[in-house]
Amino acid sequence: MEYEIDMVNKAIKFYTNLGYKVCTEVPFLHRSIDLVYENNGQLNSVEFKRRDWKRAYAQAKTHIYGSDKVYVCILKPSKGISQELKDYFKDSPIGLLVFDETNTNSLIEEIFPASNEHKKWNIGQQWLKKAFNKRLEEELCHNS
């Protein structure tokens, strides 16, 4: 996997095959969320990074204010999940996903679940929903 956008494009297909509405580059708090998908009325955010997962984590922390669940998705580490990664995500409201093209069962695997019990802003949820719906109207999203 050479580029982050390659991960995102394959994730679009993965989530649309699950029946979710998927939008990319959804504006939120002066940034763009790499991918937002709607599942049973919940908006879940995913920040993708090939290498710098700490940067993805920092970016994902702002998504908490509008998303029901927030994830960081990284390429599956060849040497497994490091202790540092485990320590970062084990008690975090942000979940960890790994992207693995070699996995025949699932392209994306949840390593640490995201919590939906974090403190969300009502206005943040409204902003994200509005941005997501606007992207849908502009046909910049992907539906099953």
What's the first-to-final CA gap in the chain, in angstroms? Answer: 24
Helices (H), ranges, the chain? 4-17, 53-63, 83-89, 122-137
Q: How far apart are CA 89 and CA 27, in angstroms?
A: 25
Rounded CA-CA distance 32/47 in Å is: 9
Q: Where are the domains of the chain?
A: 4-135
pLDDT tens digits, 36-62: 999 999 999 999 998 889 999 999 999
CB atoms within 10 A of CB 47: 26
- By the 10 Å C-beta count (0-12 exposed, 13-18 middle, 19+ buried), 95 is classed as buried
The CATH number of 4-135, from 3.90.1150.10, 3.10.180.10, 3.40.50.970, 3.40.1350.10, is 3.40.1350.10
CA separation (Å) from 39 to 4, 20, 49? Answer: 23, 6, 22
**Model pLDDT, residue 143:** 66
- Per-residue pLDDT, 1: 56
Nearest by Cα to 44 from 26, 58, 30, 31: 26
Tokens 């939120």, residue located: 28
Give 97-125 pLDDT, tens digit per residue. 999 988 877 899 999 999 877 777 888 99
